[in-house]
Chain A
Amino acid sequence: MDDLITEFLTETSENLGELDVGLVKLEQNPNDKELLSQIFRVIHTVKGTCGFLGLPRLEAVAHKGEDVLGLFRDGTLEVTPEYVTLIFESLDRIKLILDGLESTGSEPEGDDTELIQKLADVLKNAGVTPSDEVIMPDMADIIIEPKTQEETPEEQPVAAEPPPAAAPTPAAEDADQAVPKESSVANQSLRVNVDVLENLMTLVSELVLNRNQLLQILRSQVDSEFTAPLQRLNHVVSDLQEGVMQTRMQPIGNAWAKLPRIIRDISIELNKKIDLEMLGQDTELDRQVLELIKDPLTHMVRNSADHGIETPDIRAAAGKQETGTIRLNSYHEGGHIIIEIADDGKGLPLEMIKSKILSNGLATADEIAELSPQQIQQFIFKAGFSTAEKVTSVSGRGVGMDVVRTNIEKIGGSIELKSVEGQGTSVIIKIPLTLAIVSALIVESGKEKFAIPQLAVKELVMTSADGDSRIETIKGTPVFRLRDHLLPLVPLQELLKINTDTPSSHEDETDSEKESREADEARYANKYIVVTQVGSYTFGVIVDRVFDTEEIVIKPVPNILRDLDIFSGNTILGDGSVIMILDPAGIAKNSGEIEAAETMGGGAAAEAKIDSGMAKTSLLLFTAGNANPKAVPLELVSRLEEVKTAEIEKANGAFVVQYRGELMPLIPFDSSMEVMELESKPILVFSDKGSSMGLIVDKIIDITEQHIDIQIAGTKDGVLGSAIIEDKATDVVNVEHFLQTVNKDWFKDHDDNPYGANGSDSSGQRKRVLLVEDSPFFRNMLTPLLRVAGYEVTTTESAMDALKLCDAGHDFDIIVSDIEMPEMSGFEFAEKVKTQENWQNIPLVALSSHTTPQDMDRGIQAGFTKYIAKFDRETLLNTLSQTLSESYGEAS
């Protein structure tokens, strides 16, 4: 294809993308002159370029479109929805022609007469309105132009001779405003072919691998003269890698650009009122990932608008605002991007899903009766499951949520769905930042090594021949008891059929049945279980050995192996050997039919999302400093690492270690600990909001599930108190203390000082606190803290759940609520609470990282009694006791 045409296509599609956003805004704000000029300019450029390249069909459409836009810009014509629809129609036609041009290299055949006639009619109608001409005397020269056409309507449909005055006039006007802006932007960026960047990325990936190889060689050598230069090379390569990755990053807003237009079209077609809120548009992610999630995202937003949001009359009848809201939000969390799509529509219709499950034969009525609403909702991820009552032109085209889920899982992401019938649906997608380099766990099975993406790995368990950590078998099928759940297991060696020359003992008929079972179980002794999660399905993969984690570059498998869905790719390790990368979703698929509704995760999620005070917590047990066991809630720990003491450095008087290309602060649990005495030390890594810290301990003991009942409050910094765990007195660690030691900004430091004395509750009866907090991190941290202070704590992870407790008649002495929460913010929550008869007198305390006076004012207005910074332990406790004594002191 002609280079010029290629260039033209690239530029035009970019411009048209911008137009979609622009035009929707225009409809909302028809008097925005600047916007009008911008839209006009883009379409004008298209027209001008077409003429130059000899594309008559495109030119004719663009030309008429430009003329009509010219009228809008000049104010001659009022922008009405019909006109905007007409302009959209023209743009769609232009896109159609461009698509044809792109695939064949020439304009496709087709007849635009009708469209051009419609546009011409608009011009004609506008032209005959004399009052416009009078109102706009300074625009006289332009208004003459449509008039000339009006005088010669017989020559339609195609304006064979475009009036020469039309093009130059606006162009000349534009030149003055446009040129200075554009040139400054043009100087700062340049267009690079994607292939060049891809190639660069490949080269950098190779370089990273080579560097890893060199570093590995270096480690085996004592006192090498290469140490210093290699360390420098190491840093430069890391920076280079980051820099190149940066070039591939694009704001997620690019994938959203089309959405306003889609929502607009749907709302017009289906007579709905829909607001689209887009937050976090600047969040950047790898363009490859961006391309892959574009369609699933569009699909889901379309679903929300089509199936989710109700028509205004239905909404009004349900007591909602007539205008429905679809909110998109994206942000970084750890190495991931979280995208939330929430609507306040009608939610997933359970009854309809149930009947659909029945009619599709996916489950029997008896089975359905036993399922929780959440489990039933999971069925929408099944193939061919569209619940739209009728197929509209908007959605229900046979692609369903199953495709969305497959696409997202393909790139190592996960998707989570929450829906409350009548209140809305929210979908949370978690995807890796980049596909190029991922962290993977290297395992061995049948003497072959494999990589498993770390993202899918939940935990590792080592099995033994007997006792609790023994693999049991049911008819030869291995299973494992993992903290009160039966974990299905997949023996990797058998799944992959590698070196399976020791078949199961069933062949030997002389064995008694007992012996055969014992032989089965003996085979699984001293193996490792990689606990893996795919969607909400958790299962274990049995492997022989577990090695390190490595940063790997995923390379696609060759074409002839594409059918093997058990591998997601392959890569070259630091030692130069090739290794296959296992695809957890592929393993799940190949090791048994996965029924979304049957999975363990679904079952767990199905339990009401209310943590009563007596709920069990997973605890990580370790020792540090002395032999007494210490415990920390497992959910707070993001990873366990083993760090070589030789790699621990000192910076600014504190321990640090280079971790995943960044400096991570380390603190010994106990200052008396000898950090350097051994060759390596286990580290508990805590991460939140992109920063990490490591807590140096002596030994990791176990993970256990316990109800923490702290019996003696801690006297030492860093210890919340002591509890009986596994029959031993165990110190429960206050993670917050260490986080604050390391990073004063961790909690967005507060201005006010603590009042001093710890305000623990003095009355004989325990006060009941309801904690509403969406972040599990804070929830897990605050709950033990409040419990130690003598409160009876109930937590919910959303305002909706909290209101359900209200409806259920629960009573509390005080409510502590986060402000920034999905679905319903703390402000809305407070307003709602104040309207509830049984709760309106309960004092409300807001916890927020935004503590500007405006925020505080808004909080007080919404009905909060106090508004305090997140997170300040002293102030929180003081405020609680103070508020309680004020409120109830006065009352009694």
Chain B
Amino acid sequence: MTTAANANTQETQDLEAEIASGSAKDFLTITIADQMFGIPVLQVQDVLGSQKVTKIPLAPREVAGALNLRGRIVTAINVRERLGLDPRLDDEEDMSVVVEHENELYSLIIDKVGDVLSLKNENYENNPATLDSVWREISMGIFRLESQLLVILDVPKLLKGVHA
């Protein structure tokens, strides 16, 4: 397990290093509870609409269930629950972003999927020290966009925090 954990930190550090080095990075933007997040595009396997999910009894509350993606079983994660947010109130269709983590596929259930943005280093900032502790854990930093702020989602840490 330690090696896997190391690999994650490694992944995160690499990304941070790349962001810091100033090379442009592409992020898929998503929206959860009116907040914009970015996921490094290379981590994204797929974007899905609402799916039929099989519930998994006794699983941690963040786990929404399991679904079949072209013959592979994908574990669906309710990101709202993970971020300590209330369930969604509007009745728009949920979206999912599929990511791979330690050779397993996870589908992150979120509100909306936006564009892919190419972001420059000069707009990057570390997490504000006053940020909510759960959010600070899953955020790799903030990009200042013109109209709003974009939180970079640390997918490995987001998934690691899900415990039975």
Interface residue? B7 (CB, 8 A): no
A579 to B13, CA, bound (A): 37
Interface residue? A561 (CB, 8 A): yes
- Chain B residues lying within 8 Å of A560, measured Cβ to Cβ, are 60, 63, 75, 159, 162-164
Interface residue? A564 (CB, 8 A): yes
**B164 and A563 contact, CB distance less than 8 A:** yes
Interface residue? A712 (CB, 8 A): no
- Chain B residues lying within 8 Å of A449, measured Cβ to Cβ, are 54
Interface residue? B87 (CB, 8 A): no
Query: Which residues of A, 136-191, contact B by the 8 Å Cβ criterion?
Result: none
Interface residue? A335 (CB, 8 A): no
A498 to B56, CA, bound (A): 9
The number of chain B residues touching the other chain, given as a range, is 20 to 34
- Chain B residues lying within 8 Å of A561, measured Cβ to Cβ, are 56, 59, 63, 75, 164
**B57 and A496 contact, CB distance less than 8 A:** yes
Contacts A563-B164, A577-B68 given: A497-B57 contact, CB under 8 Å? yes
Most buried by B among A558, A563, A570: A558
- Chain A residues lying within 8 Å of B63, measured Cβ to Cβ, are 560-561
Contacts A559-B104, A560-B63 given: A206-B55 contact, CB under 8 Å? no
The number of chain A residues touching the other chain, given as a range, is 20 to 34
**A564 and B59 contact, CB distance less than 8 A:** yes
Closest B residue to A496 using CB positions: B57
The secondary structure that dominates the A interface is: mixed
Closest B residue to A566 using CB positions: B58
A496 to B73, CA, bound (A): 21
Closest A residue to B59 using CB positions: A561
- Chain B residues lying within 8 Å of A498, measured Cβ to Cβ, are 55, 57
Contacts A206-B71, A448-B54, A558-B75 given: A580-B164 contact, CB under 8 Å? no
- Per a CB cutoff under 8 Å, which of B66, B162, B163 touches A578? B66
Residue-wise, chain A 570-592 has the 8 Å CB interface mask toward B (1 for contact) of 11100011111000000000000
Closest B residue to A493 using CB positions: B57
- Chain B residues lying within 8 Å of A567, measured Cβ to Cβ, are 56
Interface residue? B37 (CB, 8 A): no
- Chain A residues lying within 8 Å of B71, measured Cβ to Cβ, are 206, 209-210, 572
- Chain B residues lying within 8 Å of A578, measured Cβ to Cβ, are 54, 65-68, 73
**A580 and B54 contact, CB distance less than 8 A:** yes
Q: How far is the CB of B61 from chain A (nearest CB, A)?
A: 12
Q: How far is the CB of A505 from chain B (nearest CB, A)?
A: 23
Closest A residue to B60 using CB positions: A560
A209 to B66, CA, bound (A): 17
A196 to B159, CA, bound (A): 29
Interface residue? B93 (CB, 8 A): no
Closest B residue to A202 using CB positions: B71
Residue-wise, chain B 131-152 has the 8 Å CB interface mask toward A (1 for contact) of 0000000000000000000000
- Per a CB cutoff under 8 Å, which of A448, A559, A564, A576 touches B68? A576
Q: How far is the CB of B76 from chain A (nearest CB, A)?
A: 10
A498 to B65, CA, bound (A): 13
Interface residue? B102 (CB, 8 A): yes
Closest A residue to B102 using CB positions: A559
**B59 and A555 contact, CB distance less than 8 A:** no
- Chain A residues lying within 8 Å of B75, measured Cβ to Cβ, are 558, 560-561
Query: Which residues of A, 197-211, contact B by the 8 Å Cβ criterion?
Result: 206, 209-210
Q: How far is the CB of B151 from chain A (nearest CB, A)?
A: 22
Closest B residue to A560 using CB positions: B162
Q: How far is the CB of B149 from chain A (nearest CB, A)?
A: 29
- Chain A residues lying within 8 Å of B159, measured Cβ to Cβ, are 560
- Chain B residues lying within 8 Å of A572, measured Cβ to Cβ, are 68, 71, 73
**A564 and B58 contact, CB distance less than 8 A:** yes
**A570 and B73 contact, CB distance less than 8 A:** yes
Interface residue? B106 (CB, 8 A): yes
A579 to B56, CA, bound (A): 9
- Chain A residues lying within 8 Å of B164, measured Cβ to Cβ, are 560-564
A577 to B75, CA, bound (A): 13
Q: How far is the CB of B97 from chain A (nearest CB, A)?
A: 16
Q: How far is the CB of B96 from chain A (nearest CB, A)?
A: 14
Residue-wise, chain B 46-80 has the 8 Å CB interface mask toward A (1 for contact) of 00000010111111100101111001010100000
Most buried by B among A206, A209, A555, A561: A561
- Chain B residues lying within 8 Å of A576, measured Cβ to Cβ, are 68
Closest A residue to B4 using CB positions: A559
**A555 and B73 contact, CB distance less than 8 A:** yes
**A448 and B52 contact, CB distance less than 8 A:** no
- Chain B residues lying within 8 Å of A558, measured Cβ to Cβ, are 73, 75, 104, 106
Contacts A560-B164, A563-B164, A572-B73 given: A577-B56 contact, CB under 8 Å? no
Closest A residue to B53 using CB positions: A578
A441 to B62, CA, bound (A): 29
- Chain B residues lying within 8 Å of A580, measured Cβ to Cβ, are 54, 56-57, 66
Q: How far is the CB of A634 from chain B (nearest CB, A)?
A: 33
**A577 and B73 contact, CB distance less than 8 A:** no
A209 to B104, CA, bound (A): 20
Q: How far is the CB of B109 from chain A (nearest CB, A)?
A: 15
- Per a CB cutoff under 8 Å, which of A206, A496, A559, A577 touches B58? A496
Closest B residue to A445 using CB positions: B57
- Chain B residues lying within 8 Å of A562, measured Cβ to Cβ, are 164
24 CB < 8 A contacts A-B: A497-B58, A498-B57, A559-B102, A559-B104, A560-B162, A561-B63, A563-B163, A564-B56, A564-B58, A564-B164, A566-B58, A567-B56, A570-B54, A570-B66, A570-B73, A572-B68, A572-B71, A572-B73, A576-B68, A577-B68, A578-B54, A578-B66, A579-B54, A580-B54
Further 5 A-B residue pairs, CB within 8 A, beyond A561-B56, A566-B57 = A210-B71, A560-B162, A570-B66, A570-B73, A578-B73
> Which residues of B come within 8 Å of A, CB atoms?
52, 54-60, 63, 65-68, 71, 73, 75, 102, 104, 106, 159, 162-164
> Which residues of A come within 8 Å of B, CB atoms?
206, 209-210, 448-449, 496-498, 555, 558-564, 566-567, 570-572, 576-580
